[in-house]
Chains A and B, each alone.
Chain A
Amino acid sequence: MTRNWKSWLASASVLLLVGAGCAGYDDQSATPEKSKNDKTEVETTKDSSLDASVDAGLEAAFGEVDASTKEELKENSDAEIITNDSAELNAYGKAYDQNEL
Chain B
Amino acid sequence: MAKRMIRMNSKRAVAGAAAGVALLLSSALPAFAREPRVNEPVNLGVRAEGTVNICERITQASEKLLEKLDERRVEVDKRRDERKEDVTDRRSEHRENATERRENWSTRWDALVLEMQAKATTDVQKAAIAQFKIDMQAAFNARQASLDAANSVFRTGLDKAVTDRKAAVQTAVDTLKNSVKTAIAKAKADCEAGIEGATVRTTLKASLDAAHAKFRADVQAADRIGANARALAETRRAAVEKAKEVFKAAALKARDVLKAKLKVGTTTSATTTQP
Contacts and interface: CB of A to CB of B under 8 A. Distances in A.
A74 to B, nearest CB: 7
Given A54-B255, A69-B244, A82-B165, A100 B65 contact: yes
Q: How large is the interface on A (under 10, 10 to 19, 20 to 34, 35 or more residues)?
A: 35 or more
Interface in A83-100: 83-86, 88-93, 95-98, 100
A80 B87 CA distance: 10
Across chains A and B, which 5 residue pairs bring their CB atoms closest together, nearest first? A85-B79, A83-B226, A95-B68, A76-B233, A79-B233
B65 A82 contact: no
A3 B108 CA distance: 84
A82 B112 contact: no
Interface of A: 36, 39-40, 43, 46-47, 49-51, 53-58, 60-62, 64-66, 68-69, 71-86, 88-93, 95-98, 100-101
B47 interface: no
Interface of B: 57-58, 60-61, 64-65, 68-69, 72-73, 75-76, 78-80, 82-83, 86-87, 90-91, 94, 97-98, 101, 105, 108-109, 112-113, 115-116, 119-121, 125, 132, 136, 140, 143, 147, 151, 154, 158, 161-162, 165, 169, 172-173, 176, 180, 201, 204-205, 208, 212, 215-216, 219, 222-223, 225-226, 229-230, 232-234, 236-237, 240-241, 243-244, 247-248, 251-252, 255, 258-259, 262, 266, 269-270, 273, 275
